[in-house]
C-alpha cells in the first residue's frame, strides 16, 4: 500500500512531463523552441516536435502568405503634383530565426508595423523620382516592381520575404480635387459661353439673311403687282377707249351708272346739287338716254 502511494504521483508527473514535452506544428505554421528567450530549436516542417518540459516554450508563426494594407499615403512626384496612394503588400515569414531576433516578442504585429515603415519609405522614394503622369500611366506596373525590389532587402533583415506590392488607388488630395473640379467647371463654363456666343452670332446672321430675303421677296412681289396693275389699267383703258369709240352713248351711260353707284352708297345718300345739273341727266330720262339729248 505504501509503495503504490509513491508510484502514483511519480506516474502522474511522468505523464504530465511527457505530454508537455510534445508539441504539434501543422502545415500552416513554423515554430521555435525557446529556452529562457534563447532559440534552441527550429521547426519549419509540419509534424510532431519535442521540447524540454517546463523550461522550454514553443512559439508558432504563420507560414502562409500574408497581406498588409497601407494607410493612404501622400506622395510628391517630381512634378510637385501631390497624389494620395493606397497600396498593399503580400509577404511571408521566410526565416523564423531572423524574424525572432528582429522583432523579439512583438511577433507578427510588430513585424507588420516595421514593414509598413519600409513600404512607405520605398513608395515615397520611388514615386518621388517620377512624374505624376508616369504614376498614372501603364508604367505604374514597373514602379510597383521597383518598390517591391527596394523593399525586399530591408524586409530580409526582419526575416520577411516581400512577394508583391500593388498600388490599389492613386488620387489627387481632396483640396487638389476641389481645385481641379473648380478649374474644370470654369473651363466647361467658358466653353459653354463660347458655344452660346457662336450660336447667338449664327442665329443673328440667319435672322438677318431671312429678313433680307423677306424684304427682297416683298419688294419683288410689289414690283410685279405694280407692273401687272399697270398693264391691267392700260388694258382696261384700251378697252374703255375702244368701247367709247364704238358706242359713245353707251360709254357715257356706263360712266354715269358707275358714278351713281359710287356716289349713292349707304351712309352717303345726301347730295346737294342743282336740279339741272348734268349729273341727273340719265335719272330724268325714261328712255335710258341723256335728258338733254
For residues 109 and 93, give the distance between their C-alpha atoms in angstroms, rounded to a whole number.
Answer: 12
Q: Phi and psi dihedrals of 164, rounded to 5?
A: -155, 150
Grid cell locating 145: 516592381
Could you list the pLDDT tens digit for every one of the 293 residues in the chain?
Answer: 556 677 778 888 888 877 888 888 888 999 999 898 888 999 888 888 888 888 888 999 999 999 999 888 888 888 888 888 899 999 999 999 999 999 888 888 899 999 999 999 999 999 999 988 888 888 888 999 999 999 998 999 999 999 999 988 887 777 777 777 888 899 999 999 999 999 999 999 999 999 999 999 999 999 999 999 999 999 988 887 887 788 877 778 888 888 878 877 777 667 777 777 777 777 776 665 665 54
Cell numbers describing residue 284: 330724268
pLDDT value of position 289: 60
Record the pTM: 0.58
In sequence order, the 6+-apart residues with CB closer than 8 A to the CB of 83 are 74, 75, 76, 77, 127, 132, 135, 170, 171, 172, 173
3-class SS of residue 264? coil
Amino acid at each position: 500500500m505504501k509503495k503504490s502511494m509513491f508510484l502514483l504521483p511519480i506516474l502522474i508527473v511522468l505523464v504530465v512531463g511527457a505530454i508537455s514535452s510534445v508539441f504539434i506544428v501543422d502545415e500552416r505554421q513554423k515554430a521555435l523552441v525557446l529556452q529562457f528567450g534563447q532559440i534552441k530549436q527550429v521547426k519549419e516542417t509540419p509534424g510532431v516536435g519535442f521540447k524540454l518540459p517546463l523550461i522550454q516554450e514553443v512559439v508558432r508563426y504563420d507560414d502562409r502568405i500574408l497581406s498588409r494594407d497601407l494607410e493612404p499615403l501622400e506622395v510628391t512626384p517630381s512634378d510637385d503634383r501631390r497624389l494620395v496612394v493606397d497600396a498593399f503588400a503580400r509577404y511571408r515569414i521566410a526565416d523564423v530565426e531572423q524574424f525572432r531576433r528582429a522583432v523579439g516578442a512583438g511577433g507578427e504585429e510588430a513585424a507588420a508595423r516595421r514593414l509598413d515603415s519600409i513600404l512607405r519609405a520605398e513608395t515615397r522614394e520611388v514615386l518621388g523620382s517620377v512624374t505624376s503622369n508616369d504614376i498614372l500611366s501603364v508604367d505604374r506596373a514597373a514602379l510597383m516592381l521597383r518598390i517591391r525590389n527596394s523593399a525586399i532587402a530591408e524586409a530580409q533583415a526582419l526575416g520577411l520575404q516581400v512577394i508583391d506590392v500593388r498600388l490599389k488607388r492613386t488620387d489627387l488630395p481632396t483640396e487638389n480635387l476641389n481645385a481641379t473640379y473648380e478649374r474644370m467647371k470654369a473651363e466647361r463654363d467658358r466653353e459653354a459661353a463660347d458655344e452660346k456666343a457662336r450660336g447667338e452670332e449664327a442665329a443673328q446672321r440667319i435672322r438677318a439673311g431671312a429678313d433680307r430675303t423677306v424684304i427682297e421677296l416683298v419688294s419683288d412681289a410689289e414690283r410685279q403687282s405694280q407692273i401687272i396693275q399697270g398693264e391691267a389699267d392700260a388694258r382696261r383703258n384700251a378697252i374703255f377707249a375702244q368701247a367709247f369709240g364704238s358706242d359713245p352713248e353707251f360709254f357715257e351711260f356706263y360712266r354715269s351708272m358707275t358714278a351713281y353707284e359710287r356716289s349713292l352708297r349707304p351712309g352717303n345718300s345726301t347730295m346737294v346739287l342743282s336740279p339741272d345739273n348734268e349729273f341727273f341727266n340719265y335719272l330724268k330720262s325714261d328712255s335710258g338716254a341723256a335728258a338733254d339729248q
